[in-house]
A = this chain, B = another copy of it.
Amino acid sequence: MNARNGALFVVSAPSGAGKTTLCKAITESMENLTHSISYTTRKPRPGELDSRDYYFIDEDRFRTMVAAGDFAEHAQVHGNRYGTSKRVLDDMVHDGIDVILDIDTQGARQIRAAYEGAVFIFIMPPSLAILEERLRNRKSDREEDIRNRLRRAIDEIREYELYDYIVVNRDFDRALSELRSIIAAERCRTKLLKSGWIEDMLK
């Protein structure tokens, strides 16, 4: 009963808003929800694993995949390229698995155009001052990188109206609870329940 297609959740946020931690916590705490693994030309950071965090590929292979139409969305961020495999995504949705796509606003616009019914969530920092503080506390970035990330953050926030839901990450537990509510609510959508069981019941 209730057999249905998987739901697609697109989660975007400016760097430093806490998106990665939130997405990790939500996929660990909810059943039947998985995180889509992106392809990237970026070099692995310390601790990152191929096929777990990303599929790390080179520029040539990325270009070949773009030309073959293998990507559901792809984007360039800070000089690196990122993309989501169309086949992997479609298989998961077809198998009824709910998927989180952790992508930027460029990619979100492509999914919006291609996947009717996808749900768009934007994670907001409570203020630009707090965002800057969080970026500075990472300490791994140079001053120039921090300024680049802040400029890009403002450009991303300007696009918040592309998104269905806004989760303000002031308090982590509250933001996680809101994210969980959005996913649980979307699973009750009438449009996802078109498996005919209600019609069968009325026969």
- Contacts from A to B (Cβ < 8 Å): 2, 122, 124, 127-128, 154, 157-158, 160-161, 163-168, 177-178, 180-182, 184-186, 188-190, 193, 198, 201-202
B190 touches A164 (CB 8 A): yes
Q: How far is the CA of A185 from the CA of B79 in the complex (A)?
A: 35
A188 CB contact (under 8 Å) in B154, B182, B184: B182
Identify which of A124, A160, A188 gathers the most chain B CB atoms within 10 Å of its CB: A188
Q: How far is the CA of A202 from the CA of B182 in the complex (A)?
A: 26
List chain B residues, Cβ under 8 A from A158: 202
The A interface, classified by DSSP as helix, strand, loop or mixed, is helix
Given contacts A157-B202, A201-B128, A202-B154, contact A165 B181 (CB under 8 A): no
A189 touches B202 (CB 8 A): no
Given contacts A181-B180, A181-B184, contact A189 B201 (CB under 8 A): no
Q: How far is the CA of A194 from the CA of B47 in the complex (A)?
A: 40
B167 touches A188 (CB 8 A): yes
B189 touches A165 (CB 8 A): yes
B166 touches A177 (CB 8 A): no
B198 touches A157 (CB 8 A): yes
Beyond A167-B188, A181-B185, A184-B185, 16 extra complex contacts between A and B, CB < 8 Å: A2-B168, A122-B190, A127-B201, A128-B202, A158-B202, A161-B190, A165-B188, A165-B189, A165-B190, A166-B193, A166-B198, A177-B184, A178-B184, A181-B182, A181-B188, A182-B188
Q: How far is the CA of A167 from the CA of B188 in the complex (A)?
A: 6
B166 touches A190 (CB 8 A): yes
Q: State the Cβ distance, A185 to closest chain B Cβ, in Å.
A: 4
Q: How far is the CA of A198 from the CA of B158 in the complex (A)?
A: 8
Q: How far is the CA of A184 from the CA of B181 in the complex (A)?
A: 6
A188 touches B178 (CB 8 A): yes
A163 touches B177 (CB 8 A): no
List chain B residues, Cβ under 8 A from A186: 185
